[in-house]
């Protein structure tokens, strides 16, 4: 049996800031994030499909799934613990930097796995 071993990696951001992210998501975390943006999915008897996506929800769910800790500070200079509420209060540039760092981490992890095994990691089918 193969299970995800909890581990984190520290990713550096600009200006000395950092984030700690999960090295790998469990299948439950991955599926919750991948399906988080589906607001409505409908298939009719003829096989046609119609769906509505909430891309904001998907972006927030991806970052929330990976992010464990960060170097964010309150206005008084004290540490600001990571929370989904704090994540949603970030300015757009900081969120974009965090999301880009996580995307780069995911790509590096896939490449590392490919280098070790000689093949790309399997992907889950799209809903």
Answer yes or no: are the C-beta atoms of 62 and 104 closer than 8 Å.
no
Instruction: Go through the chain and tell me how many residues it has.
Output: 127
How high is the mean pLDDT of the chain? 90
Percent of the chain whose predicted confidence (pLDDT) is above 70: 92
* pLDDT tens column, 12-64: 999 999 999 999 999 999 999 999 988 887 888 887 888 888 999 999 999 99
Six token digits for residue 125: 């089918």
Locus of tokens 């399906």: 35
pLDDT for the residue 78: 96
């Amino acid at each position: 049996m193969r299970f995800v071993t909890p581990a984190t990696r520290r990713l550096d951001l600009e200006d000395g800031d950092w984030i700690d992210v999960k090295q790998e998501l469990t299948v439950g975390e991955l599926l919750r994030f991948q399906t988080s943006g589906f607001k409505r999915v409908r298939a009719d008897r003829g096989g046609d499909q119609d769906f509505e996506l909430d891309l904001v929800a998907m972006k927030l769910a991806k970052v929330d799934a990976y992010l464990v800790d960060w170097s964010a500070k309150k206005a008084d200079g004290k540490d600001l613990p990571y929370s989904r509420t704090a994540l949603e209060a970030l300015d757009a540039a900081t969120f974009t930097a965090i999301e880009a760092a996580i995307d780069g981490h995911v790509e590096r992890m896939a490449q590392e796995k490919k280098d070790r095994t000689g093949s790309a990691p399997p992907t889950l089918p799209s809903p």
